[in-house]
Chains A and B, each alone.
Chain A
Amino acid sequence: MSKKFKITICSGTACYVLGGAQLMMLEDLMPAEFRDQVEIVGSACLQACRQGGSGQPPFVKINDYLMESASIAKIVDYLRKH
C-alpha cells in the first residue's frame, strides 16, 4: 500500500547550508502518528532554487506541493492540516 505522503528533501548545496541539514533528521523526529503515513526520500537537487520565484531554500516537496523555507515544524504542521 502506498503511503499518504511522499516527502522529498532536497540535499543540494543551497538547501543544505540554509537549514536542510536539520531536515535530514526528519525521519527520526517524525511524530508517531504520521510514521505510517509518510515515505521520506532524498533528492540530489530539486532544482527549485534555479527557478525564480519559488522562495527561499531549503526546499521540500510533499507529494506535489513545493514547500519553501522548510523546517521540521513546518512540515509536521502541513501534515496535520492535510
Chain B
Amino acid sequence: MEFPKITNNCCVEVDFRQKNCGRQRTGGDVFLSRKLKEQQRVISVLSDGLGSGIKAGVLATLTSVMGLNYMSSFRDPAKAARSIMDTLPVCSERHISYSTFSLVDVDFENEVKIVEYDNPPVLVARGSEIIRLERSQVQVTRADREPVAISVADFQARPGDRIIMLSDGVSQSGIGSQSLPFGWGIEKTGNFIREQIEKKADISACELAAAVVDKAWVNNGGHALDDITCGVIYFRQPRQLLIMTGPPYDQKKDRLLADLVGNFPGRKIICGGTTANIVARETGREVHVMLGKIDPDLPPDSVMDGVDLITEGILTVGRVARYLEDRRNPETLNLNPATKIVRMLLNSDIINFVVGTRVNEFHQDPNMPVELEIRRNVIKKIAALLENQYLKETSIQYI
C-alpha cells in the first residue's frame, strides 16, 4: 500500500483565532480561506466591518466573500477592491459603507500577492525576522467618489516564512492603558511574534494566532474592546499523520497494518480496540489502557510503543467529526481522546486514513445507540471537513 507522493516539499498551513468585541455573539471581523485545489492556490481574507456585532459581521462577510470570489476568478486586486466598495451597504448613522480588508493569495510556486485596504499592515516573518515588504499604492474611487489608496505587494515565499494578518483589535489593544497608552502598535506586535518564533521555531499557524490574540486580550486587561483577529499563513515542510481505524476485511492483511505503522514517516493514531490489538499482536507489543483519566462520554485512550495515540473506534471518531464540524478550538475543550485526535489533525498537513472494512456484527444490534454510524461514512465526512474547512490534504484507503 502506498500513500500519495508529496509533490510539494513546502506546504501552506492557514489558521486563525478570534475574540469578539465585548459580549457580542457575532464577530465584526471575518477571516475566510479557500483552497483552489486544481490551481494549487490558497486565498485568505481578513475583513473588519465598521463597528461590531451583526452589522459589522454582515459588512465583513460581504467583503471577504467578494474578495475571495474575485481573487479566485480574476486575480485583479484593484478591480476586486472597487467592486467591494461599490457594493457594500451604507451605514444609516455614519453614512458610509466601510469595511477594511487584507487579502493574501498564494499560488502553487509560493508566489504571494497581498492586497490591503486600511487594515494594519500584513507582517511577514522569515524565520524569526520580520521582513519589510515593498508596497505600491493603487488609487481606487469609492462609491461616494472618495479616492482611496489600496496597497499591493508581491513576494516569493520561502519555506519557514509566515504571513500574519491582523485586525486593528490587535494593533490597538491596550490603548489608553498605563503600559501601552498608544496601543500595542504594529512594531511591538511584530516583536512579540518574533519572540514567539524564537521560543518555538516550528510554532504552528494556530498556536501563533492564538498567542497573538491572547496577548491582545491581556493588553486590554482581559477584555475585547474591539473584535480581535489574527490569521497566520505558514509555509513549511508538510507534517504527515496516519490514522488507522478498523480491522482489514481479509485477515491475511493484518500484517500489512503492522508494517504501515512501522514504516510511516510521521505521527500515527489507531482508532479502534481490535485494530490496536491486531497491530500489537503482529508486532509483539502490548497495549496499555490508561484507566486513570476518564472522560465520562468516551472510552479511555491507550498507549503502545511506536504509536502516538490509541483510542476506541467509532464513538471517538464520531466525536472528532462533531468537533471539526462545529469548528471547536481543541485547546479550550476538555482533554479527552477525541480532542487529542483533533489537536493532532490540526497540527498536521497531510492526513492519510487507512480504513479497515471488516464489520463488528455486534454493532449492528438494534439495541446499540444510533450514534454508531458506519465507519467509512464518518471517515469520509472527517476527510471532507479537513479538506474544505481546514485546507488539509487527505487520502483515504480501504483495506
Q: Point out the residues of chain B lying under 8 angstroms from A9, CB to CB.
A: 289, 291
The residue that A42 contacts in the complex, of B290, B313, B314, B368, with Cβ under 8 A, is: B290
Which residues of B come within 8 Å of A, CB atoms? Answer: 272-274, 276-277, 287-291, 294, 296-297, 299-300, 302, 310, 312-315, 360-363, 365, 367-369, 372
Residue among B276, B289, B302 with the most chain A CB within 10 A?
B289
Contact A27 B276 (CB under 8 A): no
Q: How far is the CB of B2 from chain A (nearest CB, A)?
A: 28
The residue that B289 contacts in the complex, of A21, A41, A57, with Cβ under 8 A, is: A41
Report the separation of the CA atoms of residues A12 and B274 in the bound assembly, to the nearest whole angstrom: 8
Stretch at the interface among A29-37, A44-52, A60-68, A71-79: A44-52
Contact A13 B360 (CB under 8 A): yes
Q: Point out the residues of chain B lying under 8 angstroms from A49, CB to CB.
A: 360, 362
Q: A40-B291, A49-B362 are in contact. Are A13 and B315 (CB under 8 A)?
A: yes
Contact A14 B274 (CB under 8 A): no
CB contacts under 8 Å to B, within A1-36, are 9-14, 16-18, 20-21, 24-25, 27
Q: Point out the residues of chain A lying under 8 angstroms from B296, CB to CB.
A: 21
The residue that A44 contacts in the complex, of B277, B294, B372, with Cβ under 8 A, is: B277
Contact B362 A42 (CB under 8 A): no
Q: A11-B312, A42-B289, A42-B291 are in contact. Are A16 and B363 (CB under 8 A)?
A: no
Report the separation of the CA atoms of residues A35 and B46 in the bound assembly, to the nearest whole angstrom: 59
Q: Point out the residues of chain A lying under 8 angstroms from B277, CB to CB.
A: 44-45, 47
Q: In terms of DSSP, what is the predominant structure of the interface of chain B?
A: loop
Q: Point out the residues of chain B lying under 8 angstroms from A25, CB to CB.
A: 294
Query: Could you write out 17 A-B pairs with CB less than 8 Å apart?
Result: A9-B291, A11-B299, A13-B315, A13-B360, A14-B362, A14-B363, A14-B368, A16-B299, A17-B369, A20-B299, A21-B299, A41-B289, A42-B290, A47-B277, A49-B360, A50-B361, A57-B362
Q: How far is the CB of B378 from chain A (nearest CB, A)?
A: 12
Which residues of A come within 8 Å of B, CB atoms? Answer: 9-14, 16-18, 20-21, 24-25, 27, 40-45, 47, 49-50, 57
New contact pairs (5) apart from A44-B273, A44-B302, A57-B362, CB-CB < 8 Å: A14-B368, A21-B299, A44-B276, A44-B312, A50-B274
Contact A44 B369 (CB under 8 A): no
Q: Which chain B residue shows the least CB distance to A10?
A: B273
Q: A17-B369, A42-B289, A44-B310 are in contact. Are A11 and B300 (CB under 8 A)?
A: yes
Contact A13 B291 (CB under 8 A): no
Q: Which chain A residue shows the least CB distance to B310?
A: A44
Q: How far is the CB of A66 from chain B (nearest CB, A)?
A: 15
Contact B273 A17 (CB under 8 A): no
Q: Which chain B residue shows the least CB distance to A24?
A: B294
Contact B362 A50 (CB under 8 A): yes
Q: Point out the residues of chain A lying under 8 angstroms from B361, CB to CB.
A: 50
Q: Point out the residues of chain B lying under 8 angstroms from A21, CB to CB.
A: 296-297, 299
Report the separation of the CA atoms of residues A13 and B291 in the bound assembly, to the nearest whole angstrom: 15
Contact A43 B273 (CB under 8 A): yes
Q: How far is the CB of B213 from chain A (nearest CB, A)?
A: 36
Q: Point out the residues of chain A lying under 8 angstroms from B315, CB to CB.
A: 13, 16-17
Q: How far is the CB of B362 from chain A (nearest CB, A)?
A: 4
Q: How far is the CB of A59 from chain B (nearest CB, A)?
A: 11
The residue that B302 contacts in the complex, of A10, A42, A57, with Cβ under 8 A, is: A42
Report the separation of the CA atoms of residues A11 and B312 in the bound assembly, to the nearest whole angstrom: 7
Report the separation of the CA atoms of residues A57 and B299 in the bound assembly, to the nearest whole angstrom: 14
Q: Point out the residues of chain A lying under 8 angstroms from B372, CB to CB.
A: 13, 17
Q: How far is the CB of A81 from chain B (nearest CB, A)?
A: 25
The residue that B313 contacts in the complex, of A13, A24, A43, with Cβ under 8 A, is: A13
The residue that A45 contacts in the complex, of B274, B291, B300, with Cβ under 8 A, is: B274
Report the separation of the CA atoms of residues A47 and B294 in the bound assembly, to the nearest whole angstrom: 22
Q: Which 3 A-B pairs have the closest CB atoms?
A: A42-B289, A45-B273, A44-B273
Contact A12 B300 (CB under 8 A): no
Q: How far is the CB of A17 from chain B (nearest CB, A)?
A: 5
Q: How far is the CB of B246 from chain A (nearest CB, A)?
A: 11
Residue among A9, A14, A40, A44 with the most chain B CB within 10 A?
A44
The residue that B360 contacts in the complex, of A16, A44, A50, with Cβ under 8 A, is: A50
